[in-house]
Amino acid sequence: MLIVTLSLVRVISMETYPLPERPEEAINQLIDALKISGELRRFASGAHIPVQPDHIIVIEQGALSMHRMMDGLMMIESTRPQLLGITYNNQFSHHFTIKAESVCEARMVPRSDFEAIIETRQLWRELLLVVSWYYDVLYWKSYHYLGRQSYTLIRNCLIELAAKDEQERDQINACDFIRGKTNLSQSYILKVFSDLRKGDYIDISRGRLKSINKLPDRY
């Protein structure tokens, strides 16, 4: 049974604490500057993109996801150009994998070239903006997903999915999206979907989220 609850304690929700805005201009400037270096490689959908501490990965085209090795939990997913590995971490490849979710074009730039280009072009401010954004996203994910009850995880995932462009959203199976981010069982997610649809809180067609109304705080 769905119950909408009102609390005297103000709870910060995804609506009031939205995903941090992506610094598009800074990312594009860095990617453009790095096109003079490295090797451009093409990865088929489903392929693993190798992560090396001495290289920066510039995703120029395609969709990707990052997964935690110990349980396959999806940590991030992206359909736009990205810079991976700009913060040095030689433990990353032991704990996480990067998977191409579509055909991807990735430029492998040696870290030494990356640092030289940043210094020559004086792109330290742009680099700082991008690194700060990555940390802001981590804080955002930690706040909304760590230690949450199962329904709250589903609710937050639905709000995150609904915020995507319609064209991108239509390519994503809502149940798979939530399972990848939470490791909740398919049966539980589908049961919640069914109850939310009966209450006219969400519109899902063929597994694709079409729209959401104001979702209940509790389930």
- Taking the C-alpha atoms of residue 74 and residue 96, their distance in angstroms, rounded to an integer, is 10
Phi-psi region of 9 (alpha: psi -120 to 50; beta: other; left: phi over 0): beta
- Taking the C-alpha atoms of residue 125 and residue 131, their distance in angstroms, rounded to an integer, is 10
- Taking the C-alpha atoms of residue 205 and residue 146, their distance in angstroms, rounded to an integer, is 29
- Taking the C-alpha atoms of residue 151 and residue 4, their distance in angstroms, rounded to an integer, is 13
Digit-by-digit pLDDT tens for the chain (219 residues) are: 343 332 323 334 555 677 889 999 999 999 999 999 999 999 999 999 998 889 999 999 999 999 888 878 888 888 899 999 888 777 787 888 999 999 999 999 999 999 999 999 999 999 999 999 999 988 888 887 776 789 988 998 999 899 888 888 888 899 999 998 888 899 999 999 999 999 999 999 999 999 988 888 877
Task: Read off φ and ψ for residue 23, nearest 5 degrees.
Answer: -80, 75
Architecture in CATH of 24-143 = Sandwich (2.60)
